[in-house]
Structure 1
Amino acid sequence: MIKYTKEFLANAKKQGIEDVIISKFPNCVDVMEPTFVQYMSDELFEIRFPVLEWYLNPFNAMQGGFISAAFDNAYGLLNKMATRKEAVSLDLNTNYHKPIYKNDTLTVKVYMKHKGNTIVNMYAEAFNNDSQLIATSDSKMMIMK
């Protein structure tokens, strides 16, 4: 289930993206139980994901594929809010810097590098509750026409 901070909802109304956030999101977003935190028009999207037990690898850290999935979901959502169109990932690169463990929260901040007519370039950083850098990523998406 997707959650929203009060600040996010107030800002969404000001920026005219209410229709985007009330639309049905793909199951891959819902299943990660995100909280939408912040959106700055065409610039930044911040989203939090709880580190759930079923994300854990044998070392009790969030498995890298789930961290990449969090990035991928955040990229898709920023694109949707910025362009009002669906897009597909052309690539997704992730660098892991530090593990994140159960009961922590992965905060992903996605930044729009360039928004063209067809291709969108973005990069992102993920942090734990102590504001330690967990992973970084970049991605290109193709806007569907």
Structure 2
Amino acid sequence: MQDDLLVKIRESAGPNPAMELPPKIFKEMEGEFLEYIDGQSLTVRFPVKESYSNPFGFMQGGMIVAAIDNTLGPLSLLLLPPSITTYVNTKFIRPVKMAYEFIDVTGFAVERSPMRIDLRAEVKSPGGKLLATCTSSSAVMRRLRG
């Protein structure tokens, strides 16, 4: 799944020597593609690392948003030409505990046009509890369009 989906993402992105896929941060966060439902959703698993903890012993919000971005980015590439995020809004519902081995982030396509895509994401614990939600919009980069 991992390698097949990565090939599909690279093909969707088109030839662009400036794009590194997967990006360094995806590799650093050890993202693992779990499921792609064509044109609808992408689920990625991220380990919860001690180095991601905030002063209260929970996963720092910025790292949760990074996991979301590392899910919505590949999903957007599978749905449209390369785009950049123009809006992101994250709601934290429950803390991500350091005791969790991982979090699963699922990104969903909400609406798309030739120049824009709206996405949403859900972050869940290993037991399936909803931890955070996100809405996002991205605009297709004109100079990278074919």
TM-score per shorter chain, which class? 0.7 to 0.9
Query: What is the TM-score with the length of structure 1 in the denominator?
Result: 0.83
The answer on 1:114 being equivalent to 2:105 is no
Cα deviations by residue, 1:34-75 (Å, 9 ceiling, x for unpaired): 110011111000001101111100111100011111111111
User: Root-mean-square deviation (CA), in Å?
Assistant: 2.2
Q: Distance in 2 between matches of 1:89 and 1:69?
A: 12
Q: Which residue of the other structure, out of 92, 97, 103, is the alignment partner of 1:101?
A: 97
DSSP 3-state at the match of 1:98: coil
Q: Which residue of the other structure, out of 24, 43, 46, is the alignment partner of 1:46?
A: 43
Q: Percent identity?
A: 27
Mind listing any 5+ residue stretches in structure 2 that lack a counterpart?
Answer: 13-19
Cα deviations by residue, 1:94-128 (Å, 9 ceiling, x for unpaired): 00000112252110011000121010000010001
Residue in structure 2 matched with residue 87 of structure 1 by the alignment? 83
The answer on 1:37 being equivalent to 2:34 is yes
Q: Distance in 1 between matches of 2:11 and 2:24?
A: 16
Task: Give how far 1:19 is off.
Answer: 4.3
Query: What is the TM-score with the length of structure 2 in the denominator?
Result: 0.83
Bigger CA drift: 122-131 or 94-103? Answer: 94-103
Q: Distance in 1 between matches of 2:11 and 2:26?
A: 14
Aligned length: 134
Cα deviations by residue, 1:5-50 (Å, 9 ceiling, x for unpaired): xxx84xx49xx827449x7311121111111001111100000110
Q: Structure 1 45/86 Cα, relative in aligned 2: closer, same or farther at 3 Å? A: same
